Structure 1
Amino acid sequence: MKVLVTGCAGFIGYHVAEALLARGDSVVGLDCLNDYYDVRLKQARLERLRRQAGFAFHHLDIADKDAVRAVITGNDDIVGIVHLAAQAGVRYSLVDPYAYVHSNVMGHVVMLEAARRLGRLRHMVFASTSSVYGLNTEMPFRETDRVDTPVSLYAATKRADELMGHAYAHLFGLKLTGLRFFTVYGPWGRPDMAYFSFAKAIMAGEPITLYEEGRLRRDFTYIDDIVAGVVGALDRPPEDPCPPRLLNIGNHQVEEVRELVHLLEESLGRKAIIRSAPKPAVDVEATYAAIDAIHTLTGFTPSTPLSLGVPRFVAWFREWQAKISVG
């Protein structure tokens, strides 16, 4: 089938597009290749996709409704959408809040409008985030929990996406699934995320900052497990459009951040220089995903513990750092 993947040069988008191509689907990829982090990494992901048959790329901003409409007009046989493009990152929302409204709110509306104009569309899957759980303290987080206490603008925009999805499902019968991702990591990952920046600093002999001495807890989820869940959800549209489906997608395993650092030290063969600092207001104490719903739907069963995922990331990280160091 033909699937539209937004954010195809991003971390999750690249891996999802690769998996769809590997099973024989054709992929129409959209990405603006912005400079939020090293564009060389996005370009390298994109180049790997371009080598594969069945991949077509459009360099555009998803908030540009005319550009997106032109792509849709030329690809009216699209039957699935995986909408992953967004302005990511919790702390950066303190620096440039407008980028989040532009990409995550306007961009999401543009994609919903595009979806309702595709006559053959069977299902649209879109990225939400564990950050929507905000100040919730009851663990694990469940899709039935209230999510009205965000602690970052990023979380607020992603919750807005879920609510706009509900409106479009009600009004136009769109079949939608929102996936609440929990701390995704692995090869080809994002340099702005802690595991990547920690690895880079440890390799360079530079200090890293651990909030609350590394006692914050996260549900770290390996990229291969995430991809299996995304594709599994895409293949199973909801029977009824409204309400749209919301699913946690995580590892269902909580680890302290200091354990992540310990595994990075082991894999890199170097000790970290650690500085401690109080938790920023935009960070939460812990995340922990209940995954009963996505397991029942797709059979989703994460199989990669942090102890296996971190060495796999480090093996790729060494290769990437060597590549960019020689230009």
Structure 2
Amino acid sequence: MAVLITGGLGHVGSWVATLLARQGKKVIICDMAAPHVDRMGLDYLEEVRDNVHFEAVDVLDTHTLFETFLRYRDELEGVIHGVSVIAGPSFQTRPFKHLSINAMGTLNVYETCRLLGIDKVVNMSSGAVYGDAAGPQVETMPYKATDLYGATKISGELYGDQYTATYGMDIRQARLFFVYGPGKRPSHMHAVYQAMFGPLEGLRDVHPDNGRDQTTDWTHVEDTARGILALFDADSVPHRHYNISCGVPIAHQDIVDSVTELLGHDSGMRLGPGPFVVRGSPLDITRARTDLGFEPRFTDIREGLEDYHRWLKKNA
């Protein structure tokens, strides 16, 4: 059997694809970056290339999306949808484009699966659906959008719930949170991420305007991918929505200090006052532990940072 992943060359998606391919499954990656995969430096994905097939597909191109899914339909056990513009300072600069990718792109995937009889879908949603509600945040809490990104994730979940209820599909929502780790270079990220994780890559003297006064739930990318696969692999689930994170809050300044301790020198990183984005923390992962047997490995941020540092040095 095969699994199709939209956004399979993204940070989380590439790890989901790698773990599936390591299981011996055929993986179809649908991603606009597919023609450039050889230049992306995803060494872990290179190790399983024999089990991976690439398709350059835009989730807003309904016809190409349908034709691609149709080509693989008879061998698919399901779809994992990961295409998304991430939350950050640039999201609101192109609101219609980003809202369309996140909301309409998700709806296109659901509708294509419905038409082709592909019932099983895991959607990569977000803890942003809780907005700024105080943590620990549990899946039974009401939706609260505090930014445009959060609104797109809420819409994707509502579409999925209604497709499940109306058409008998099996659409599951993995609520992810802040992710770090191998596969993403800090130099390619926003300034707050660079200030926290950038010294692991050799960056120095990054001074973002905000981010210091925030405690949130940072999850190693491999733990995030493992949680998504636990949700996908379950024969049946008693709920539609699952928090997937490490479940441990950590202050942004503590991450800066931990990186300094790991490297043994100060890299001149200074976070400005206030939060980066308005979010509560942490996500409560009791439901994922109970129903899926999910147990994150990197609950100590220092162990995750060491792993991230090893990858960055290896791929310098």
1:180 aligns to what SS in structure 2? strand
Distance 1:51 1:296, change over 3 A: closer
- 1:116 aligned partner: 114
* Conserved 8 A contact 2:77-2:120: yes
- Matching residue of 1:271: 266
Match of 2:123 among 126, 135, 139: 126
Amino acid at match of 2:126: T
Give the RMSD, CA atoms, in angstroms: 2.5
Judged with a 3 Å threshold, the aligned counterparts in structure 2 of structure 1 residues 155 and 285 are, in CA distance, closer, same or farther, namely: closer
Question: Which TM-score applies when normalising by structure 2?
Answer: 0.89
Structure 2 CA distance for partners of 1:172 and 1:50, relative to 1, 3 Å: farther
Question: What do residues 67-117 of structure 1 show as CA deviations (whole Å, max 9, x unaligned)?
Answer: 111111211121111101111123221222123222111111110012113
The sequence identity of aligned pairs, in percent, is 25
Q: How many residues align?
A: 309
Quote the residue 1:94 is aligned against.
92
Q: 1:292 aligns with which of 246, 269, 286?
A: 286
Counterpart residue number, 2:277: 283
Partner of residue 313, structure 2: 318
CA contact (8 A) 1:210 1:274 kept: no
Who is 1:247 aligned against? 242
State the shift of 1:161 in Å: 0.3
Q: TM-score, normalised by structure 1?
A: 0.86
Residues 257 and 210 of structure 1, relative CA distance in 2, 3 Å threshold: farther
How far off its partner does 1:239 sit? 5.8
Matching residue's letter, 2:8: C
Structure 2 distance, partners of 1:179, 1:263, is 29
1:301 matched to 2:300: no
CA distance in 1, matches of 2:78, 2:217: 28
Q: For the residues of structure 2 that align with 1:208 and 1:46, how far apart are their CA atoms?
A: 30
| 2:141 matched residue in structure 1 | 145
Matches of 1:18 and 1:41, distance apart in 2:
15
Q: Secondary structure at the match of 2:183?
A: coil
1:205 and 2:204 are equivalent in the alignment: yes
Shift of residue 49, structure 1, vs aligned partner: 4.5
Q: CA deviation at 1:189?
A: 2.3
Q: Is the 8 A contact 1:180 1:246 kept in 2?
A: yes
Unaligned runs of 5+ residues in structure 2 are none
Superposed CA offset, 1:178-198 (max 9, x none)? 111021111112632544454
- For the residues of structure 1 that align with 2:60 and 2:9, how far apart are their CA atoms? 16
Matched with 2:226 is: 228
Does residue 21 of structure 2 align to residue 26 of structure 1? no
Amino acid at match of 2:112: A
Deviations 1:131-169 (A, max 9, x none): 1111212x2001111113x22111110111001112211
